[in-house]
Amino acid sequence: MIHTLDLQFLTDHSIAAFVVESSEGPFLVECGPHSTWAALEKGLAGLGYRPSDIGHVFLSHIHFDHAGAAWALAREGARIYVHPAGYKHLLDPSRLYGSAKRIYGDLMESLWGEMHPIPAEQLFAIGHGQSIEVGDKTLTSWHTPGHAVHHIAWQMGEDVFTGDVGGCRIFGGPAVPPCPPPDIDIEAWVDSIALLRGLEARRFWLTHFGEVTDIDAHLDTLEARLWRFARWMKPYVDAGKDAAAIGPDFQHFMAQELREAGASESDVQKYESANPSYMSVAGLMRYWQKKSEIV
C-alpha cells in the first residue's frame, strides 16, 4: 500500500511524501523539507505511525523540498538512501545549506527549516540498478540525471517514484519540468525520460504531486514542454538579458501554458508554489550558458 502525504508547503498539493507499508513496517519515499515536519508528523499519525516507526527513507535527490527533513528522520532511527553524488552533502550539509542561504536569505529557515549532518552509519550511497529490500518490498535505483546530477527514480514493481525527473503535475493538469540551477541538462533529461519509458510502470508517483497513470501521454507532454521552455529561453540568453529582466516574461509564459492546457487560476498558483518560475529562469539560463562555454 502506498499513501500520499500532502506536506502543505505554502499551499496544498505542492510537495508529497509517500508512505509505503511493508512486512517490515512503514518506510518513506521522499520526506519534504524540515519546515513541513509538523505536517509529516500529522500525516503519519493519520496512518497510525510516528516518525520513529519509519525505518528507511528513499530520496530522489538532495534538493530541500525532497530531502530537507532526512536528518530529522535519521535522528529517529531511519536509514537514508541517496545518489552517490548527493551523499557527501547529506553527510556534511554546510555547503549545500550555505549555497541555498545565499539565494533565500532571511527566508531560508521559514521556507526550508534546519538541516544537520546525517551519521555515516545511517547514510547509504546507492548505485544505478542497485536494489534494496525492505521486508516484502524491493526498490531499485535508476540514476536519472537531467533535473539534477544526483537524481534517482525509485522503482517498486509497477510503481515508480519519479522525483522531479518525471515532472510536476497537479490535479491532472499538464506535465511541467522543474528546472532549477545548477544542473539542468536537457539532453540528459531526455535520456532519463527514455529510461522511464522502458520501465513498464503502471503508475508514477510525482513528488509534485501524486499519482499518474497515463504514463506515455504524461512523458510525451513533459519532453515536449521541456524543449519548449528551453527554446523560449535561448533568445533572451543570447541577447544578454539577466534573470531579473527575464523572470516576469517567463512567469507569464508558463502561466499561459498552464491556462491553455486547462489549468484554473488556483491551479496556476499551486504550480508556481511547487515549481517556482524564477528558479526555472535561473536553471535554463545556466543550461544555455554552459552550452555556449562548451562551444
**pLDDT tens, position by position, 234-263:** 999 999 888 888 999 999 999 999 999 889
Q: Report the SS3 class of residue 36.
A: helix
Q: Check: CB of residue 121 under 8 Å from CB of residue 161.
A: no
Supply the mean pLDDT for the chain.
Answer: 95
To the question of domain 2-220 being in CATH 3.60.15.10, the answer is yes
β-pairing verdict for 131-134 and 123-125: unpaired
Grid cell at residue 276: 517556482
Domain spans in the chain, listed from the N-terminal domain onward? 2-220, 229-294
Q: Check: CB of residue 28 under 8 Å from CB of residue 41.
A: no
Helix 265-274 and helix 243-260: axis angle, to 10°? 130
Grid cell at residue 257: 501554458
Q: What is the pTM of this model?
A: 0.95
pLDDT level of residue 110 (50, 70, 90 thresholds): confident
What integer is the mean pLDDT of 224-241? Answer: 94
Higher pLDDT, 262 or 294: 262
Burial of residue 53, with CB atoms counted within 10 A of its CB: 0-12 exposed, 13-18 middle, 19 or more buried: middle
Tell me the one-letter amino acid at 159: D
Instruction: Give, rounded to a whole angstrom, the gap between the first and last alpha carbons of the chain.
Output: 49
